[in-house]
Amino acid sequence: MRAIRIHQHGGPDALRPEDVPLAEPTADQARVRIHFAGINFIDVYHRTGLYRIEPPFTPGVEAAGVVEAVGPVVSEVRPGDRVAYASEVGAYAEQALVPAWKLVPVPASLELSDAAALMLQGMTAHYLVHSTYPVADGETILVHAAAGGVGLLLVQLAKARGARVIGTVSTEAKAALAREAGADDVVLYTREDFLAAARRLTGGRGVDVVYDSVGRDTFERSLECLRPRGYLVLYGQSSGPVPPFDPGRLARLGSLFLTRPSLGDYTADRDELLWRAADLFRRIEEKTLRVRIDRVLPLEEAAEAHRLLEGRKTAGKVLLQVGQGR
């Protein structure tokens, strides 16, 4: 089968299409024929070695497709089932072996492309606003990268909970997308300091929570955007990791809270996984949530997909199309 392989950590050119042997599922695995694989920043971190996986390996942690075969003790899925998953390395390939408990059923009415686009970023947005900091009606939140894959979904889910949303973006085109998703105020950080904007828009009080996927470039000012006892939810580091800092700063800025959550801890068992996925799929079917797919590239163009993502040239989700069909 065809797969993207990494033999040495490095830039996008480290992603190389190759023919690899087809493996059989172990006792608790299923083999999935991949139709669409999602592109995420964690794939970049795996490629560069920031989140280290020893080469050689096939990157990608999110996909949707059809079950081809299952191990002897698998009861969660059957061959022929339409499924999607996240948080399992190996998705940039025609087929992947996945622990069966991680596979969620995809409703017949839902496109596999939408399911693939929702799994990692959608469930991330879901746990952020429902669990890490459960947004309450009337609260004001700040969302960095509000026109990104997670950002657009996070804005919509937060608005559904009654929040006032301030989003930060880099261009007018992305500002339009953030507003379309429901953002009440949009700050072009290339023109206005987002800290000054957050203070102005809250009458000097500060926001209740900042959802920050950027990391190093925004961290310090994100803290200063918060009201006393506010929350900084640092869930990514697209600009690089945050340097060490003095925890006493949290006290000096108003007894702030800082958390660095991870999707794996919010989908730790099958019940929670199925709840989050089913809630997202239901919202898509009811048209109360929209997933924006920025573009779809063939598997062999995985390197170009990484360049686009790292170059901030996308708004929404980037997918690799591997198989045919919906």
Q: What is the pLDDT of residues 42-52, one digit of tens each?
A: 999 999 999 99
Q: How many residues does the chain have?
A: 326
Q: What is the pLDDT of residues 62-100, one digit of tens each?
A: 999 999 999 999 999 999 999 999 999 999 999 999 999
Q: What is the pLDDT of residues 89-130, one digit of tens each?
A: 999 999 999 999 999 999 999 999 999 999 999 999 999 999
Q: What is the pLDDT of residues 180-200, one digit of tens each?
A: 999 999 999 999 999 999 999
Question: In 3D, which of 115, 168, 132, 164 has the Cα closest to residue 289?
Answer: 115
Q: What is the pLDDT of residues 271-326, one digit of tens each?
A: 999 999 999 999 999 999 999 999 999 999 999 999 999 988 888 899 999 976 55
Question: In 3D, which of 177, 164, 107, 71 has the Cα closest to residue 326?
Answer: 107
pLDDT at site 271:
97
31 pLDDT higher than 90: yes
pLDDT at site 315:
80
Question: In 3D, which of 148, 141, 46, 26 has the Cα closest to residue 90?
Answer: 46
Count the neighbouring beta carbons within 10 Å of the beta carbon of residue 306: 23
Name the pTM for this structure: 0.92
Domains, the chain, with CATH or none: 2-120+267-321 (3.90.180.10), 137-260 (3.40.50.720)
DSSP states of 135-155: --TT-EEEETTTTSHHHHHHH
pLDDT at site 313:
85
Task: Name which of 137-141, 240-244, 257-261 the model is least confident about.
Answer: 240-244
